[in-house]
Amino acid sequence: MIRVLVADDQALVRAGVRMMLDAAGDTEICGEAADGAQAVRLAEELLPDVILMDLRMPRVDGLEATRRILAARPSARIVVLTTFGEDENVYGALRAGALGFLVKDDSPERIVDAVRRAAQGEPLLAPSVLRRVVERALAAEREAVPLPRGLTDREVQVLTLVGMGLSNAEIGERLHVGVTTVKSHVAAVMEKLELRNRTQAAVVAHRLGLVDAGFRPVPSPAADRSAGRDRGAM
């Protein structure tokens, strides 16, 4: 059973989310918070599998609550609830480490599916949204960084594909490996680079120059030399 903490200052919204998740059969509400301060406290006490976080709440807003929860428990899986997908705070929460976001009038099926995927650590952002998050993050940090030592060649490949916005299944198809293997590589990359989620990994992939502005992979110098040898042999 997936345990969910829902944080929203509107009792009607919390009741609606509870009905959706109770009907799903494999999810349950383990706690409800009416403001960000309460959400931070309950997240620490209950250790939910997934947190649904409203952004506009009194006392402490959802953005600050997200930052506090992830600072205390980086593995927490937070999905933002918002009325408007273009809310500037959505991008702040995603950069802080939220897995993705849901608009409150999304269908029950989409909300339940997002909770299930979040519980598995799966990506929740459409490529177009990921692109905007990456662009905003890069605009704030334009300095390129060198490729960290310690990543294997396969892990660099996986990081590149994450930076392109591919899901675990799509990465597995590209590399001809199973989804479980992909998850292991992604987890290793996250641990070595001290990242919280795939959104942050995507930003890092771009800052490292593994992916270009068009979300295409950038060939490595070694790959270029190999391609040159292959052309010379033809």
DSSP string across 129-168: HHHHHHHHHHHH-----PPPTT--HHHHHHHHHHHTT--H
Q: Which of 67-71, 77-81, 224-228 has the lowest mean pLDDT?
A: 224-228
Asked whether residue 40 carries a pLDDT value surpassing 50, the answer given is: yes
Asked whether residue 121 carries a pLDDT value surpassing 60, the answer given is: yes
pLDDT in the model for residue 194:
86
pLDDT in the model for residue 122:
78
Asked whether residue 51 carries a pLDDT value surpassing 90, the answer given is: yes
Asked whether residue 161 carries a pLDDT value surpassing 70, the answer given is: yes
Asked whether residue 72 carries a pLDDT value surpassing 60, the answer given is: yes
> Which residues, other chains included, contact 219 with Cβ-Cβ below 8 Å and sequence gap of 6+?
227
Average pLDDT of the segment spanning 181-201:
89
User: What CATH homologous superfamily does 2-124 map to?
Assistant: Response regulator (3.40.50.2300)
Q: Which long-range contacts (CB under 8 A, 24 or more apart) does 167-170 make?
A: 167/122, 167/123, 168/122, 168/123
Length of the chain counted residue by residue: 234
The CATH topology of domain 145-233 is: Arc Repressor Mutant, subunit A (1.10.10)
User: Which of the 8 DSSP states describes residue 70?
Assistant: H
Asked whether residue 144 carries a pLDDT value surpassing 60, the answer given is: no
- From first CA to last CA, the distance across the chain in angstroms is 58
The band of 8, judged by pLDDT with boundaries at 50, 70 and 90, is very high
- Residues 167, 171, 176, 177, Cα dihedral to 10°: -70
pLDDT in the model for residue 112:
93
**pTM of the complete model beyond 0.85:** no
Q: Listing from the earlier edge strand, what are the strands of the sheet with 100-103? A: 27-33, 2-7, 50-54, 78-82, 100-103
Average pLDDT of the segment spanning 159-180:
92
Q: Which of 35-44, 76-85, 174-183 has the lowest mean pLDDT?
A: 76-85
Across the chain, what does the average pLDDT equal? 85
Closest to 136 in 3D by CA, of 85, 87, 91: 91
pLDDT in the model for residue 198:
83
pLDDT in the model for residue 127:
67
In whole angstroms, give the CA distance from residue 28 to residue 3.
Answer: 5
pLDDT in the model for residue 214:
82
- Residue range(s) in the chain whose domain bears CATH number 3.40.50.2300: 2-124
Average pLDDT of the segment spanning 193-210:
86
Asked whether residue 231 carries a pLDDT value surpassing 70, the answer given is: no
Most distant CA pair in the chain, distance: 70
Asked whether residue 17 carries a pLDDT value surpassing 90, the answer given is: yes
- Residue range(s) in the chain whose domain bears CATH number 1.10.10.10: 145-233
Asked whether residue 134 carries a pLDDT value surpassing 90, the answer given is: no
